[in-house]
Structure 1
Amino acid sequence: MFKLRGHHLFCLLGYQGMGYSRDYVENMTQLHQTLRDQPETWIQLIEGPDQLCAKYPNSGEYHCHDQHITARDHVILEKLGLIIGQMIKWKDIEASIRNNVVPSDIQTVCETCSWRSYGVCEEGIQNILEGKGLRKVQ
């Protein structure tokens, strides 16, 4: 089981092996690959820093406690019809994405995210909508 905050559900969709540091990338890749290969994996939705935040590099501002990030978590969970504390399988999160999200939602929900300009999150959502699941990370 993994513990994840709301906005990381969207981050996983666009993930392509890039990140803040080598440790962060290794952690994210392992989590991403597990969910891709084992969509029955349980996720507990939590508030605040999660297992991905744990590997955020200790250089500069630690944005994992930022109120804007927390607000994004709540917006994404609300959009998906999910709540903090909920236990849910990754495949059911994907189903919620298929039922409640379109690629253009990234432009507003993740408006201030530094990764948004890459366009990979919209592609990740489209993959879920087409039933392809998470993309393979090289």
Structure 2
Amino acid sequence: MYKLRGHHLFCLLGYRGMGYSEEYVENMTRLHQTLRAKPNTLILLVKGPDQLCEKYPNSGKYHCQDDNIYEKDAIILEKMGLKIGQILTWMDIEASIRKFVVPSDIQTVCKSCSWRSYGVCEEGIQEIHEGKRLRKLL
């Protein structure tokens, strides 16, 4: 079972193999590929730092404890009809995305995210709506 915070549910949809450091990318890629290959993998929704945050590079202020990040987590979970402490499969999370999220939500929910300008998260949400799985990394 993986522990994930709210906004990382969206980050996984847009993940294309880029990240904050080599160690972070390796960790994110491992999780992404596991969920892609085994969509019945269990996810525990947590408040605060999760298994992806564990590999966030220590470069001063700890981004994963920022109030804006907690706020983003809460907004995303509420939008998806999910709650901290729930245990779901990745497939259940994809179903919730199809039901409650549209690609343009990224523009408002994730407006402060430095990755938003790439457009990959909207693409990821659109692909889930089209019945596709997480994208295969090149």
Query: TM-score, normalising length from structure 1?
Result: 0.99
2:136 alignment counterpart: 136
Q: Post-superposition shift, 1:14? A: 0.1
Query: Is the deviation greater in 26-35 or in 59-68?
Result: 59-68
1:57 alignment counterpart: 57
1:37 alignment counterpart: 37
Letter in 2 for 1:111: K
SS across alignment from 2:103: coil
Query: Which residues of 2 match residues 1-138 of structure 1 at below 5 A?
Result: 1-138=1-138
Q: Aligned partners of 2:62 and 2:20: how far apart in 1?
A: 12
SS across alignment from 2:114: coil
Letter in 2 for 1:9: L
Q: Aligned partners of 1:11 and 1:61: how far apart in 2?
A: 21
Identity value in percent: 73
Letter in 1 for 2:81: G
Query: Is the deviation greater in 57-66 or in 67-76?
Result: 57-66
Q: Post-superposition shift, 1:61? A: 1.9
SS across alignment from 1:72: helix
Cα deviation, 1:45-75, whole Å, max 9, x if unaligned, reads: 0000000000000113211000000000000
Runs (4+) off by over 3 Å: none
SS across alignment from 1:94: helix
Q: Aligned partners of 1:60 and 1:21: how far apart in 2?
A: 14
Aligned residues: 138
Unaligned stretches of 5+ in structure 2? none
SS across alignment from 1:132: coil
